[in-house]
Structure formats: C-alpha cells, structure tokens
Amino acid sequence: MKNSPIILALDTPEIDLARQWIRATNEVIKVYKAGLEFFLAHGAEGIAKLREAGDFDLFLDLKLHDIPNTVASAAKSVHSINPKFLTVHASGGRDMVSAAVQALPHVDITAVTILTSLSEESLAEIGFGQSALNSAVGLAKLSVESGARAIVCSPLEVSAIRSAVGNGPTIITPGVRPAGSPLGDQTRVMTPREAIAAGSTLLVIGRPITSLGTPDLMLAKAREITDTI
C-alpha cells in the first residue's frame, strides 16, 4: 500500500521522459500531475501512454476557467481519461465550480485559490480587494460549498484554509522543498514535514525528485521525503 503524500509533477512535454519518471518512482508515489504543457502537446493519447508506465492516480492540472456551461463541457471531455483530480480556478466563481462538480461527480474537482505568482500589487490591480491570504481563504470556502473536494494553495495559506474548511477537504500544496534541496524558482517554501503539519494532505513536488536523473536516486529521494514526514 503506497502511503506517500507526494504528487509528482511531470513537468515535461516529452512522453518518454515522463514515463521514465513514473517507472522510477511508482513503487512509492501513487499520484502524478500532468499539466497544460503535457496535455496540450499529447492529449488523451499521451495520458494513455503514461498509464502504460505504471499504476497511479492522475492529477489533471488544466486549471479550467470559463463560463459554467463551457467548463462543464470541458470537464466532460476529459471523462474518458478518468482523472482522480481535475483543477479549476476558484475565481471562476460558485456556479462555475459547481458546474464542474456536476459534470464529473466521481472526480475530485480541485479548486486552485490564488496563484502564488501573483503579488499583493498584482492582485489589487486585477480587482481583488483583499490580501492574498484572505482571498485564498474566501475562495477555498466558496469552492468547498460548491462541491469541490480538494483545494490547491500555497503552504503559507494551508493552516488558515484548513481552519476555514475543516478536516474533510483534501488540501494540496506546491512550493514544497525538502531541507537542503535547491529552491529553483520557488521563493516562499516549506519543507514537506512543515506543510503536512500545517494541514496539507498532498504535496506537489517536481524538480527535487525529477532533476536527480537516475531512477535509483529518484526513488531514494521519493522514499526519503515520504519517510521524513
């Protein structure tokens, strides 16, 4: 039984490389994230090729954001891929999140709160009247009320969001770095143990594992991260 909280980010447009990463780590990791970079290049066929490389749950990170009818139709279009998680932008609003939930009742519709790439100034510029933290908490509550079963947020927002939504929803955080790993372009990070202690359920981790190159090193790192939590 795999009990790792790691979601491995398959951040590459190369199918063969993504398959190598799955094969290397699938003994420990049970969820893999394919995002727009991979999906726009390869579509459902690409996902089918990934599935040949291992036994896993798919986190399909499409961050849908449109009118409710269009989001519902888009969600139905990925039904046959059978993702475990499908992301939508919470800022699409209550009706949009709810439309996705109704379109795919068996999928954990996963609401992305505030992108961590947005500064407080950028948020004000696009019309958010509150701080990133308060906006993220409000969007998380709205999403859960609309039927979303999972939330994506910065590790720095986890504890406030966990208090606001209770223990039921899955909370997923990127921006996680094992002690000693290079930060890359991440700035405000927590260690896996800190993120879980703050209330995260699952952690999106990419380069600290995938940059290691060899299958043995990748598996060892996945195991080490899992064991330190």
> Which residues are the active-site residues?
63
CA distances to 58, 66, 167 from 125, rounded to whole Å, are 34, 20, 33
How many Å apart are CA 6 and CA 210, to the nearest integer? Answer: 12
* 88 counts as binding ligand C5P under rule CB under 6 A: no
Kindly tell me which residue out of 91, 98, 113, 116 binds ligand C5P, with binding defined by CB under 6 A.
116
**Distance in angstroms (rounded) separating the CA atoms of residues 100 and 69:** 9
CA distance 109 to 97: 8
Q: Is 186 in the site for ligand C5P (CB under 6 A)?
A: yes
Smallest CA-to-CA distance from 11 within 155, 131, 186 is with 186
Q: Which is nearer to ligand C5P, 23 or 207 (CB)?
A: 207
Tell me whether residue 102 or residue 186 sits nearer to ligand C5P (CB atom): 186
Question: Minimum distance from CB of 154 to ligand C5P (Å)?
Answer: 6
Single out the residue of 204, 212, 218, 219 in contact with ligand C5P (rule: CB under 6 A).
204
* Closest of 127, 122, 46 to residue 91, by C-alpha: 127
Closest distance to ligand C5P from the beta carbon of 206 (Å): 3
Judged by CB under 6 A, which of 175, 200, 219, 222 binds ligand C5P? Answer: 175
Q: Which residues pair with 6 in a beta bridge?
A: 203
Residues that bind ligand C5P (CB under 6 A): 9, 11, 35, 115-116, 154, 174-175, 184, 186, 204-208
